[in-house]
Amino acid sequence: MPETARSIARRPENRYGNRPTMKDVAARAGVGLKTVSRVVNGEPGVTPDTERRVQEAIDALGFRRNDSARVLRKGRTASIGLVLEDLADPFYGPLSRAVEEVSRAHGSLLINGSSAEDPDREQELALALCARRVDGLVIIPAGDDHRYLEPEIRAGVATVFVDRPAGGIDADVVLSDSFGGARDGVAHLIAHGHRRIGFIGDMPRIHTAAERLRGYRAAMEDAGIPVEATWMSLGVTDPVRVRRAAEEMLSGPDPVTAVFAGNNRVTVTVVRVLAEHARRVALVGFDDFELADLLQPGITVISQDPARMGRTAAERLFQQLDGSLLAPERIELPTRLIARGSGELPPED
Amino acid sequence: MPETARSIARRPENRYGNRPTMKDVAARAGVGLKTVSRVVNGEPGVTPDTERRVQEAIDALGFRRNDSARVLRKGRTASIGLVLEDLADPFYGPLSRAVEEVSRAHGSLLINGSSAEDPDREQELALALCARRVDGLVIIPAGDDHRYLEPEIRAGVATVFVDRPAGGIDADVVLSDSFGGARDGVAHLIAHGHRRIGFIGDMPRIHTAAERLRGYRAAMEDAGIPVEATWMSLGVTDPVRVRRAAEEMLSGPDPVTAVFAGNNRVTVTVVRVLAEHARRVALVGFDDFELADLLQPGITVISQDPARMGRTAAERLFQQLDGSLLAPERIELPTRLIARGSGELPPED
DNA sequence: GTGAAAGCGCTAACAA
DNA sequence: TTGTTAGCGCTTTCAC
């Protein structure tokens, strides 16, 4: 079919910027299309002289291979997706960075997005990434039903969950020992003489929140301490909500003498509330955070290793892509109690 | 062995992602290819009955549109790239998140990567994103020569720089008033009686570091204070280097009585050093950080607004893509001094 | 060593 | 309302 001015003008690339293609390079270098492809991809079977001519044409035209087209042909996109809760949360910075480093080491790009703790948005994002044909997906789940991913996994999308397990499907998951960590933290408070201990955590539908609450209950039960309903508060980690929860526990007829904070967002807000408070209240927080050691007192935490979680998950993902993995596995990373002062304060009534 | 989505994916015929296409859906539904396309894209001109049949075939086959192919045809990828220094740095969390939100509002996905402050890696990453045909690029530059982007920009890739200007090309840039902020911060220390003031900053080739140093010098000059060479230390923000720099300034025959820290990485390390130090030393840091108000004393900072920077840059990017922008512009956002105690300490010899 | 032709999965243009 | 055809820019195959 003859090229008309109209057909040329209608071409999409002429609306958004006209880039040279291999065909253009080939025409300019006076060689065939495939020869250009060989040069661009460093394939053998091109004489140095031809190669030089092609390279000159590439430079002159400012050609850059269109990886979208390449992907379409090759099947693999050399990119993976990361769905997390909030890029701005300091917990996810090191985690993303670790995923990125592993991805880079495998020649992949990382596409990522935040679910904002909204299950619908998580699904929308994950499926958009699948439509882009990412090779794999690392997901920090917001929702608890991931059956929507079943066709994708069946179609070959490698998938690893981090921090919280998948719901409704059998998939790899890398998580911290939330139950054990919380139990240890609360036991630590009990060992320092506390009996009236509060727990402030994230929404109960979030796995880590539920597990940490379970750890709290277990520690209390182990010590034979009956738990009052008013000592537990689960909900969004929004400062306003957490502040109110903390203030309620600290006031009233039978106030708590210690608080266990379910994650770093909660801890930070509780630290603020306690700073305004006359009575000294002990505090242990799940997850470490910068400067925790420099506060007065230093904040005792159950530390987890987000970078290691990210690295482990990403490595597992690429193992899946290598085809070297069989059954989905649950990998639980240990936590560590770091005593800094706030968790060792005695009860004060 | 039970059949799981994973085991199905591992079957030879599925190894390379054997996914159903529109053609498969069309065959199953007994309609033409274009009709499937219409249904998938919600285009009009399909009877409810046909639509239902197509939808059934889609669900039965687990079809998901291949956006790579779509992109190839349409020209726009509906994705933008973000090249930053380190995803794990708390300064970039809110910035990335803001870029992501704007991107999402425009129906785009965000692909991002860290340059690790390495100019070669920045270039490699930016060009890889161009090869993926991202529609636009938000770059926090590590290098100071961006002429490598010239062919890309000419080819229509929208580009906005953040935090530091581009080198060698004329491009939009969104930055904080580093010079003015640093000058204000140092003037604040001078106003509180300090004369021997140290400056610890990032590598001098980084624009913000150079500007902040310039602000420091300007404030000192305005006050008629000659600056000693030993009061200034520029280099990597690695804690070891910063710690040594701080310790040197604080010891010696003529130690500084105040320190201006060039960014949040530096500030945090200086806070640690000062905490171990007997003598009270005043401190002002560029860039705010979480819990700065809860330290003893609270840390006085020059605060900038990373989320606003990200938002501004991303909005500008999409304006470029709308074709509604003319000349590249330099947008400088104001900084704000937040006094919290550390910057108001009097000199102590 | 080199290149022509087919086709990856989709959308645009046009025909029926 | 629906279907057919021709590409998007690249890689694969196979012939020269």
| Beta bridge pairs of residue A139 | A83, A161
| Structural contact between residues A196 and A255, judged by C-beta atoms closer than 8 angstroms | yes
Q: What is the DSSP string of B28-63?
A: HHTS-HHHHHHHHTT-S---HHHHHHHHHHHHHHT-
Of the spans A117-121, A266-270, A320-324, B111-115, which averages the highest pLDDT?
A: A266-270
A2: the nucleotide nearest its CA (via C1') is D6
Res. A203: pLDDT tops 70: yes
| Beta bridge pairs of residue B201 | B234
| Cβ–Cβ contact B44 with A under 8 A | no
**Section B190-198 average pLDDT:** 97
Instruction: Report the distance separating Cα B36 and Cα B55, nearest Å.
Output: 9
Lowest-pLDDT range of A38-47, A173-182, B12-21, B215-224: B12-21
Res. A170: pLDDT tops 60: yes
Q: For residue B88, give the nearest of A62, A94, A131 by CB distance.
A: A94
**Section A2-13 average pLDDT:** 31
DSSP class of A341: B
Q: What pLDDT score was predicted for residue A171?
A: 94
Question: Measuring CA to CA, which residue among A46, A24, A27 is closest to residue A35?
Answer: A46
The reported pTM is 0.89
The H-or-E segment that residue A81 falls in is strand A79-84
Name the region of B323 (left: φ>0; alpha: ψ -120 to 50; beta: rest): left
| Cβ–Cβ contact B35 with A under 8 A | no
SS3 of residue A342 by DSSP: coil
How many CB pairs below 8 Å do chains A and B form together?
Answer: 195
Kindly indicate the confidence band of residue B90, based on its pLDDT and cuts at 50, 70 and 90. confident
Question: Measuring CA to CA, which residue among A134, A160, A132, A156 is closest to residue A146?
Answer: A160
Q: What pLDDT score was predicted for residue A322?
A: 84
Interface contact flag, B19 A68, Cβ < 8 Å: no
Kindly indicate the confidence band of residue B177, based on its pLDDT and cuts at 50, 70 and 90. very high
Peptide bond into A2 cis (omega under 30): no
CA B222 to chain centre: 33
Q: Which residue has the tokens 């305004």?
A: A276
| Structural contact between residues B284 and B189, judged by C-beta atoms closer than 8 angstroms | yes
**How do B330-333 and B79-84 pair as beta strands?**
unpaired
B53: the nucleotide nearest its CA (via C1') is D2
- CB half-sphere exposure, B12, CA atoms < 13 A: 0
Q: What pLDDT score was predicted for residue A12?
A: 41
Q: What pLDDT score was predicted for residue B10?
A: 54
| Cβ–Cβ contact A329 with B under 8 A | no
**Section A28-51 average pLDDT:** 90
**pLDDT digits 0-9 by tens, B326-343:** 789 999 999 999 999 999
A-chain residues within 8 Å CB-CB of B64?
Answer: 127, 130-131, 151-152, 155
Q: For residue B74, give the nearest of A12, A66, A86 by CB distance.
A: A12
A-chain residues within 8 Å CB-CB of B71?
Answer: 68
Instruction: Report the distance separating Cα B56 and Cα A227, nearest Å.
Output: 52
CB contact set of A68 (below 8 Å; sequence gap of 6+): B68, B71, B72, B77, B132, B133
Q: What pLDDT score was predicted for residue A113?
A: 87
Q: What is the DSSP string of B254-301?
A: S--SEEEESSHHHHHHHHHHHHT-SS--EEEEES--TTTTTSSSBPEE
Instruction: Report the distance separating Cα B14 and Cα B21, nearest Å.
Output: 14
Instruction: Report the distance separating Cα B181 and Cα A24, nearest Å.
Output: 50
Q: Which residue has the tokens 């105040």?
A: B258
Kindly indicate the confidence band of residue A246, based on its pLDDT and cuts at 50, 70 and 90. very high
Kindly indicate the confidence band of residue B8, based on its pLDDT and cuts at 50, 70 and 90. low
Res. B17: pLDDT tops 70: no
What order of strands is seen across the sheet that includes strand B109-114? Answer: A330-333, A172-176, A158-162, A136-139, A79-84, A109-114, B109-114, B79-84, B136-139, B158-162, B172-176, B330-333
Q: What is the DSSP string of B149-170?
A: GHHHHHTT-EEEEESS--SSS-
Q: What pLDDT score was predicted for residue A228?
A: 94
Q: Which of residues 77-116 of B touch A (CB under 8 A)?
A: 77, 79, 86-90, 92-94, 96-97, 100, 104, 109-114
Task: Output helix, strand, coil percentages for chain A, rounded to the nearest 5.
Answer: 45, 15, 40
Cα of first residue to Cα of last residue in chain B, in angstroms, is 76
Q: Which residue has the tokens 């159903």?
A: B20
Interface contact flag, B64 A151, Cβ < 8 Å: yes
Q: What pLDDT score was predicted for residue A43?
A: 87
A-chain residues within 8 Å CB-CB of B90?
Answer: 90, 93, 290
Interface contact flag, B295 A290, Cβ < 8 Å: no
Position B316, amino acid: R
B47: the nucleotide nearest its CA (via C1') is D1
State the nearest Cα–Cα gap between A219 and chain B, in angstroms: 30
Q: What pLDDT score was predicted for residue B13?
A: 47
| Structural contact between residues A314 and A134, judged by C-beta atoms closer than 8 angstroms | no
Residue A44 CB in 7 A reach of strand C? yes
